[in-house]
Amino acid sequence: MQKIQNLLLKAKNFDYKSWVLGLKKHINKRNMYVGAGILVLAFIFWPNSQTPVIETVTAKVQDLRDEVSVTGTVKPRSAADLAFEVSGKVNFVASVENEPVLKGQTLFTLDTAELKAQSASAYAQVQIEQARVTQYENLLTAEEARLADLQAGAKPEEITVKETLVATARRKLQDAEADYQNTLEIAELDLAAVYETLRSGLKDSLNTGLDSLYTLADIQLTSFNESNKDTVMLELHKGKAAELLLGAKNAKKWNSKFLSTATGGLKESIGKLSLESEQSLHDELSNDLSRALEDLSNAYNAIRLDSTVIDNHGSVISAEKAAISAEISAISSLKKTINSQKTLSSSNLLIKQIALNNANSTLTEAESNLNLSKSSASVKSIEVQKAKVAEAQASLAGQMASVRSAYARVAEIKALIDKKVIKAPYNGLVTNIDIDLGEIAYANTTVAKIIAGDFYEIQADIPETDIAQIKTGNKAELTLDAYPEDILEAEVSSINEAAETVDGVPVYRIKLRFLEKYKIVKSGMTANLDILVDASDQVISVPIRAVDDGKIKILLSNGIVELRPVETGLKSSDGLIEILNGVRPGEQVVIYMEDVQE
């Protein structure tokens, strides 16, 4: 730059005539460039009171990069809302928020106890229907064999075989009768054991209910003497509970001491229960006790927990509510166990009954076949037997349809159970859990979200003016607002073909994938992207503003500014342009030249 200033200072004492002669000599020596080869700007050195200003840069060899800079957002490559297809009570929550889960892992379930009982019953029905298929197959085989015998006529050795079959059928019938009787006895013993557990549980629940009733009476005596809505509701439910538990009528205001003298109601009935008591009585008393406990629960719930009540009875009320709720659940569970045992016993007995019926039918058929073999067959008897074969075939076909129907019922219940289970659709992280154990979940209501763990992408909107430069596979460098010092790498993975309008401007949504799994990346982060769309390595470059209409000004060492045509290439995003031909490295390129007026 100093050299340029020295040259400009010399211009003040410039000898024009000598300069022209020198120029002619110079042109002769150089054979004169054609077109725009050399343009000598004489006015720079024209004697003038002003000193013209020229700014130059040195043409350099360096790497050029053309980049599109844009801001994007980190998104999970896959994300889904999790919801049950049906409503129900949540009984299992396996997932911890933001902890990894595996594809197929059970995350949440609703209560399926009733459906599982139905499933067991449906599967038992499948077994029953399959057993009936065997029965009809045996019947068809027997009818076909009888028809064959009638048509062929019996031989002595065939009669002997059929006598053996009759004897075998009698033994199998005896075995089936014994098996049925044994199953019946086991079923009765199993059911008796379950009722024994129920009887013991009823006595425990009764004692808990009585204790809770006495405690309620004490709280009522000390804190609820005034007549108001809360007192009326407490007395109403307490009176119902006292009548069921103790047989005491109009006991809504009795104190605990007076209540403890009553001996009727469930206290008397459950106390008399024994092994000899009818099972139906157990069922009736368990229902009554559940109602009494519900009344007690309603009475406690009627207590308004103001500061005085909380100070005097708060912990006791909470404990009694929990105890009553536990006993209600215990009785309900015992009743479900009894129903399941009854279903299982009925299914087992039905299977044994079918086996017994099959054995009886087999004996009947064997005896009939033996009798037919011993008698001569008429044309009429053969026709009758053909009709029986056709009937047996129709019965077997109908039974096969029943089997398919039973299997369909099993599948239907399984589908209902599956609707009460949420499993992870892929490996990932569960977030935004909005459900707790014991809550009621409603159908198609989101209870949590899942995002694909470790698999993130960046979404960015590219203006219409830049989209033509972007190609799938373009590499990009980026920083995150949360970690501005860390430079991450990504590449363009997809480009939307259709434009969207954002703030009135057409943009095209692109997605980029990270080239590595970066632990610092989280969903929702802002990414500042520089997308590389073109590059040239180790090329001559000058500022873009130095090129005007395919020409460039070069300040020569003798102070002359030369205008040259140049061939250009890549324009970089930082304001440089590649020179393919016309400039050598190290030459001084004019980027600014002040106009000098006379």
pLDDT greater than 80 at residue 159: no
pLDDT greater than 80 at residue 456: yes
Task: Domain 81-111+420-448: give its CATH code.
Answer: 2.40.50.100
pLDDT at 22: 40
pLDDT at 52: 64
- Cα 342 to chain centroid, rounded: 37
pLDDT at 454: 62
Q: Report which residue type is found at 426.
A: Y
pLDDT grade, residue 34 (50/70/90)?
Answer: very low
Inter-residue contact 148 to 404 (CB < 8 Å): no
Q: Report which residue type is found at 439.
A: E
Separation of alpha carbons 207 and 421, rounded Å? 38
Inter-residue contact 54 to 4 (CB < 8 Å): yes
pLDDT at 6: 42
pLDDT at 4: 40
Core vs surface per residue 551-588: b (16+ CB within 10 A) or e: ebbbbeeebbbbbbebebebbbbeebbbbeebbeeebb
pLDDT at 155: 65
For 568-589, the pLDDT digits (tens) are 888 887 889 888 898 899 888 8
pLDDT at 511: 93
Residue 282 CB burial class (10 angstroms; 0-12, 13-18, ≥19):
buried
Q: Domain map of the chain by residue range?
A: 1-77+455-598, 81-111+420-448, 201-357
Residues paired with residue 81 on neighbouring β-strands, in sequence order: 449
Statement: the pTM of the whole predicted model exceeds 0.75? no
pLDDT at 476: 92
CATH of 1-77+455-598, one of 3.10.129.10, 2.40.30.170, 3.40.190.10, 2.40.30.110: 2.40.30.170
pLDDT at 488: 93
- Give the least confident one: 19-23, 81-85, 321-325, 340-344: 19-23
pLDDT at 258: 86
pLDDT at 191: 85
- Per DSSP, the residues of 462-501 read EEHHHHTT--TT-EEEEEETTEEEEEEEEEEEEE-SS-EE
Separation of alpha carbons 461 and 534, rounded Å? 19
- Give the least confident one: 41-50, 341-350, 462-471: 41-50
The 10 Å Cβ neighbour count of residue 338 is: 19
Phi, psi of 547 (to 5 degrees): -100, 125
Phi, psi of 428 (to 5 degrees): 175, -160
Q: Which two tokens stand for residue 511?
A: 């997605």
Inter-residue contact 429 to 100 (CB < 8 Å): yes
Separation of alpha carbons 594 and 176, rounded Å? 119
pLDDT greater than 70 at residue 440: yes
Least Cα distance to 425 among 105, 153, 38 occurs for: 105
The 10 Å Cβ neighbour count of residue 344 is: 17
